[in-house]
Chains A and B, each alone.
Chain A
Amino acid sequence: GAVVSQHPSWVICKSGTSVKIECRSLDFQATTMFWYRQFPKQSLMLMATSNEGSKATYEQGVEKDKFLINHASLTLSTLTVTSAHPEDSSFYICSARGGTATDTQYFGPGTRLTVL
């Protein structure tokens, strides 16, 4: 199957700093990428949907100015957590698909963010 990578796999940062997480589709062109957040022992919650070359669509309750998403190319989307706080600590997972909405999406391995 198709491969989606995330970098870094884990990151620890100080409160108030910004952290960028990359999501890459390695062997296909991802027209759409999704960003999910997973709290410990809980399910995945969709944060936003990004289409290449367009502004991301955020789910209700997700702060656009705090979680900046950029999908500048067909193989890369980035999530920047700005002015991170301890409550932003979580597991962030991206998924990507090519083509149309009927195509299968593939998940990345996730990024563990810990804000001290």
Chain B
Amino acid sequence: AQSVTQLDSQVPVFEEAPVELRCNYSSSVSVYLFWYVQYPNQGLQLLLKYLSGSTLVKGINGFEAEFNKSQTSFHLRKPSVHISDTAEYFCAVGNQAGTALIFGKGTTLSVSS
């Protein structure tokens, strides 16, 4: 069985500061990992995904994540956040890109000036 743990439920940060949102997963098979962002009362927008290849994945809006197999982690980072990055972020795992995903509980990123 697969599972996802997002270690921080809330992350407050000041504008232009760096941020890291942590995600750990467990799986007995090969994994595909995703980060999604959800703005209030909206659906999910894909930030980035790891399917194979380079462990450093770059996504939209300046976000990137690194797949670390030995630590079973897929942490999301951004070197300088904006107010507009305030949202809910979900880490998800699937055993293939198009199968149903298992989501973490989400991390609320709050960016203030």
Please report A residues at the B interface, Cβ cutoff 8 Å: 1, 6, 32, 34, 42-46, 49, 93, 97, 99-110, 112
A101 surroundings in chain B (CB, below 8 A): 96-99
Across the interface, A105 reaches (CB within 8 A) one of B45, B97, B105, namely B97
Is A112 touching B41 in the complex (CB atoms < 8 A)? yes
User: Would you list the 9 A-B pairs with minimal beta carbon distance, nearest first?
Assistant: A109-B43, A97-B98, A101-B96, A107-B44, A110-B43, A103-B98, A101-B98, A43-B103, A44-B103
A-B contacts at CB below 8 angstroms, number: 55
Across the interface, B42 reaches (CB within 8 A) one of A42, A97, A110, namely A110
Cα A112 to Cα B28 in complex, Å, equals 35
Is B90 touching A44 in the complex (CB atoms < 8 A)? yes
Is B97 touching A104 in the complex (CB atoms < 8 A)? yes
Say if the beta carbon of B100 comes within 8 Å of chain A: yes
Across the interface, B98 reaches (CB within 8 A) one of A1, A32, A46, namely A32
